[in-house]
Structures are given as C-alpha cells and as structure tokens.
C-alpha cells in the first residue's frame, strides 16, 4: 500500500539500438514467403485459365465446323438445297470410298449394312451369287455364321455378329440393288456366276464348281434398289464452301 506523497516508478523496456529492425525483419519474413507463394499461385492460375480457354476454343470450333472431323455423304435430290444426307463416313475402303452404315428402316429388324459410296453407286466387299450364268436366277450370299465361309470368300465380322449378311448386286435391271441373306438351305448345285460390286467394270463373273463354296451359301432376297432411296450421283461437301450447317440425321435434307 502506498499513500499520498509516496513515489512510484514504472520500468519501461525500450528496444536496444537495432533490435526493432531485426524484429521487423523476423516479422516480415513470413510475409515475404506468403507473397512468393501468391505469385506462384497466380502464375499457375493464369496458365490453367489460358489452357482452358484454348480447350474451349477448340471444342467450340469443332462444333461449329463439323467438316473438320467428319465426312458427310449426300445424294442429288432436287431442287438444289434438298440433297439428302446418305450418312457419315465410318471409315474408308481400299479404294478410299467412304463407308457408311445403312440401317434397315424396319424397327422390327435392327440390322445394318456397311456400304461403300461411289459417285454413281454403292459397293460391298461381299458378292451376290446367282444360280444361272450372267448373274441371273436365284440369289445367294455367304452364310455369315458359317465358319467355312471365310475360307472360300469374303467374311464380315459385322455380319457374323448380327447374323445377317448384305451385299450389292443386280436384279437384272439395276446394278445398285441391296440384297440380304435369309434362312434356308444351301443350293443343290454351285451357283454359276456372281456379282462383284467393287469392280469398276465387268461386275459379273463366272463361278467354278466348288462343293465347299456351295455348302457355305444360303438364300438371299432383294431389300431395295438403293438408287430409289438415295438419288445418285453421291457427293461430299467441300469444307471451304461455307454452305450451312449439315443435318444431324440420315435422311434429312441439306439446308
């Protein structure tokens, strides 16, 4: 206790010379590290934003310009501007013809044919066999589910998977006719001729007697003359033409 007139003293500890600067340096050391980290994070963020902008630009351009990644095939339906989309190229054959997948219109038969597109007609790797010479008479195709078929002719893994084969042949009138295999017995005799649609001329050729080939064949029936579905000549648009956006589904007209 102290009373009136007593004296008191308060000790104030002042930093020695140079101590304040060192303390400031120690306190600011963490701030400098944080600032460096912020600079690094900022640089990283700028890089990420720039990369995302490039990716977005690529996808936007791809969506606006589908010709850059897809080949579209159209027919020659008139009037001008009404061309129908035949299909998108799923690939190309050895002649660099676009390959399109033609799906059967009937919903009850979810089947597809792989067709190569030339200017005037469609082609297939599979041949159509005919009972008589000159590519006439009853028609046959190689059974896609018969393992022997691959040793005597054109085998298709697509048709083997779906169990039904397709091929372009002639019905005696047109040379752009699509045939499909149907269940049935092999012919009693080896067919005398076959139609090879991939040839550029002399499509019909004789067939030599071959019991193995005969046993691998099953009946075929006409599906449709493809020239009545898509009007030839068939064509692909030029990327630099600047024509409107292509249709989204097969069978839709060109804008």
Model pLDDT for residues 47-61, shown as the tens digit of each residue:
888 888 887 776 655
Residues 177 and 159 in one domain: yes
Give residue 101's domain range.
Answer: 72-229
Q: Could you tell me which residues come within 8 angstroms of residue 195 by beta carbon, excluding any fewer than 6 positions away?
A: 127, 128, 130, 135, 168, 169, 170, 175, 203, 204
Residues 179 and 106 in one domain: yes
Residues 59 and 110 in one domain: no
Q: Reply yes or no on whether the pLDDT at 138 is more than 90.
A: yes
Model pLDDT for residues 32-88, shown as the tens digit of each residue: 557 777 778 888 888 888 888 887 776 655 555 555 567 889 998 877 677 888 998
Nearest CA among 187, 143, 184 for reference residue 164: 143
Q: Reply yes or no on whether the pLDDT at 10 is more than 50.
A: no
Q: Could you tell me which residues come within 8 angstroms of residue 182 by beta carbon, excluding any fewer than 6 positions away?
A: 218, 219, 220, 221
Residues 34 and 124 in one domain: no
Residues 80 and 151 in one domain: yes
Has residue 6 been placed in a domain? no
pLDDT at 128 (0 to 100): 97
pLDDT at 248 (0 to 100): 57
Start-to-end CA span in the chain (Å): 104
Helices and strands in the chain, H and E counts:
5, 13
- At residue 19 the predicted structure's pLDDT band, cuts being 50, 70 and 90, is low
Q: Reply yes or no on whether the pLDDT at 109 is more than 70.
A: yes
Q: What are the CA-CA distances from residue 28 to residues 33, 41, 131, 193 (Å)? A: 9, 20, 97, 95
- Read off the pTM: 0.69
Has residue 245 been placed in a domain? no
Q: Reply yes or no on whether the pLDDT at 165 is more than 70.
A: yes
How many alpha carbons fall within 13 Å on the CB side of residue 170?
20
- Average pLDDT along the chain: 80
11 vs 141 pLDDT, higher one: 141
Least confident of 104-118, 156-170, 191-205, 223-237: 104-118
Residues 104 and 44 in one domain: no
Model pLDDT for residues 206-215, shown as the tens digit of each residue: 999 999 999 9
Q: What are the CA-CA distances from residue 209 to residues 131, 142, 188, 216 (Å)? A: 12, 15, 12, 13
- At residue 12 the predicted structure's pLDDT band, cuts being 50, 70 and 90, is very low
Residues 147 and 92 in one domain: yes
| Contact assessment for residue 176 and residue 168, using Cβ atoms and an 8 Å cutoff | yes
Residues 176 and 53 in one domain: no
Please give the tally of structural domains in the chain.
2
Domain end, chosen from 41, 64, 87, is at: 64
Residues 60 and 151 in one domain: no
Model pLDDT for residues 171-187, shown as the tens digit of each residue: 999 999 999 999 999 99
d(CA 249, CA 77): 16
Q: Reply yes or no on whether the pLDDT at 14 is more than 60.
A: no
pLDDT at 242 (0 to 100): 43
pLDDT at 217 (0 to 100): 95
Residues 119 and 48 in one domain: no
Residues shown for the chain: 255
Tokens at residue 160, please? 């083997």
pLDDT at 239 (0 to 100): 46
pLDDT at 62 (0 to 100): 54
Residues 60 and 180 in one domain: no
Residues 152 and 222 in one domain: yes
Q: What are the CA-CA distances from residue 39 to residues 10, 42, 43 (Å)? A: 47, 5, 6
Q: What are the CA-CA distances from residue 156 to residues 1, 26, 122, 145, 149 (Å)? A: 112, 78, 17, 10, 10
């Amino acid at each position: 206790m102290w009373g009136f007139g007593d004296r008191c003293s308060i000790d104030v500890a002042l930093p020695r010379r140079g101590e304040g600067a060192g303390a400031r340096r120690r306190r600011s050391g963490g701030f400098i590290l944080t600032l460096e980290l912020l600079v690094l994070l900022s640089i990283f963020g700028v890089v990420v934003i720039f990369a995302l902008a490039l990716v977005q630009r690529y996808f936007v351009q791809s969506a606006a310009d589908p010709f850059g990644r897809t080949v579209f095939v159209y027919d020659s339906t008139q009037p001008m501007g009404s061309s129908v989309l035949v299909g998108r190229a799923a690939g190309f054959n050895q002649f660099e013809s676009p390959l399109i997948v033609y799906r059967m219109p009937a919903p009850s038969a979810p089947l597809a044919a792989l067709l190569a597109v030339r200017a005037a007609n469609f082609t297939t790797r599979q041949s159509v066999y005919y009972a008589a010479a000159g590519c006439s008479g009853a028609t046959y195709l190689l059974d896609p589910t018969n393992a022997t078929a691959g040793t005597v002719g054109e085998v298709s893994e697509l048709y083997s998977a779906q169990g039904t084969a397709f091929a372009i042949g002639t019905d005696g009138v047109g040379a752009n006719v699509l045939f499909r295999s149907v269940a049935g017995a092999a012919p009693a005799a080896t067919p005398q001729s076959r139609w090879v649609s991939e040839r550029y001329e002399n499509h019909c050729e004789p067939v030599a007697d071959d019991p193995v080939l005969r046993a691998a064949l099953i009946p075929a029936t006409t599906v449709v003359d493809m020239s009545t579905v898509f009007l030839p000549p068939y064509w692909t648009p030029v990327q630099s033409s600047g024509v409107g956006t292509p249709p989204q589904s097969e069978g839709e007209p060109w804008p």
